[in-house]
Chains A and B, each alone.
Chain A
Amino acid sequence: MSLNIIVLAKQVPDTRNVGPDAMTPDGTVNRSALPAIFNPEDLNALEQALRLKDQFPGTTVTVLTMGPGRAAEVIREAMYRGADGGYLLTDRAFAGADTLATSYALATAIKHVCPNVDLIIGGRQAIDGDTAQVGPQVAEKLGLNQITYSEEILSLKDGKITVKRHIDGGVETVESPLPCVLTVNGSAAPCRPRNVKRVMKYKRCLAPMELAQGISFADLPYAAEYEKKPYLKLGQLSCADVNADLQQCGLAGSPTKVKNVENIVFKAKESKVLTGSDEDVNGLIQELLASHTIG
Chain B
Amino acid sequence: MANYYNDISEIKFELENSPLMPRIVELKERQYEDKDKYDEAPQDFADAMDSYDKVLDVVGDIVANVVAPNAEAVDAEGPHLEKGRVTYASKTYENLNAMIQAGMNGMTMPRRYGGLNLPVTVYTAANEIVSTGDAGFENIWSLQDCIETLYCFGNEEQRQKYIPRVCKGETMSMDLTEPDAGSDLQSVMLKATFDEEAGCWRLNGAKRFITNGDSDIHLVLARSEAGTRDGRGLSMFIYDKRDGGVDVRRIENKLGIHGSPTCELVYKNAKCELCGDRKLGLIKYVMSLMNGARLGIAAQSVGLSQAAYNEAIAYARDRKQFGKAIIEFPAVAEMISNIKARLDAGRALLYQTARYVDIYKALEDISRERKLEPEERAELKQYSRLADAFTPLAKGMNSEYANQNAYDCIQVHGGSGFMLEYACQRIYRDARITSIYEGTTQLQTVAAIRYVTNGFYSQVIEDYEQLPVAAEFEGVKARIKAMADKFNACTAAVKEADNQELHDLCARHLYEMAADVIMCLLLMQNAAKAPELFAKSLQVYVNLAEAEVEKHYKWLQGMSVAQLDNYRKA
Contacts and interface: CB of A to CB of B under 8 A. Distances in A.
Interface of A: 192-201, 203, 222, 225, 229
15 contacts: A193-B66, A193-B101, A194-B58, A194-B61, A195-B102, A196-B54, A196-B103, A197-B40, A197-B103, A199-B51, A200-B39, A200-B51, A200-B55, A203-B50, A225-B43
B55 A196 contact: yes
Contacts of A201: 39-40
Contacts of A194: 58, 61, 102
Interface SS of chain B: helix
Given A193-B101, A196-B58, A200-B55, 4 more contacts: A193-B58, A196-B102, A198-B103, A200-B42
- Residue from B41, B50, B58 whose CB has the most chain A CB atoms within 10 Å: B58
Contacts of A198: 40, 103
A101 B103 CA distance: 40
A225 B103 CA distance: 24
B47 A222 contact: yes
B116 A196 contact: yes
Given A200-B51, A200-B54, A203-B51, A195 B39 contact: no
Interface in B58-105: 58, 61-62, 66, 98, 101-104
A193 B102 contact: yes
B38 to A, nearest CB: 9
Contact of A197 (B61, B66, B116): B116
Contacts of A199: 51, 54-55, 58
Interface residues of B, number: 20
Nearest to B42: A200
A229 B103 CA distance: 22
B119 to A, nearest CB: 14
A222 B66 CA distance: 35
Contact of B104 (A192, A196, A222, A225): A196
Interface string B34-52: 0000011111000100110
B466 to A, nearest CB: 37
- Residue from A194, A197, A222 whose CB has the most chain B CB atoms within 10 Å: A197
Given A194-B58, A196-B55, A203-B54, A222 B103 contact: no
A194 B102 CA distance: 5
B70 to A, nearest CB: 13
Contacts of A225: 43
Nearest 6 interchain pairs by C-beta: A200-B40, A201-B39, A193-B102, A192-B101, A201-B40, A196-B55
A166 B384 CA distance: 60
A177 to B, nearest CB: 31
Contacts of A196: 54-55, 58, 102-104, 116
Nearest to A203: B54
B118 to A, nearest CB: 9
Contacts of A203: 50-51, 54
A91 B412 CA distance: 56
Nearest to A17: B1
A199 B51 CA distance: 8
A193 B66 CA distance: 10
Contacts of A195: 101-103
Nearest to A199: B54
Contacts of B39: 200-201, 229
Nearest to B50: A203
A229 B40 CA distance: 12
A221 B250 CA distance: 57
Nearest to B61: A193
Contacts of B61: 193-194
A203 B46 CA distance: 14
B334 to A, nearest CB: 33
A229 B35 CA distance: 12
B544 to A, nearest CB: 38
Nearest to B54: A199
A260 to B, nearest CB: 34
A203 B101 CA distance: 18
Interface in B490-509: none
B304 to A, nearest CB: 24
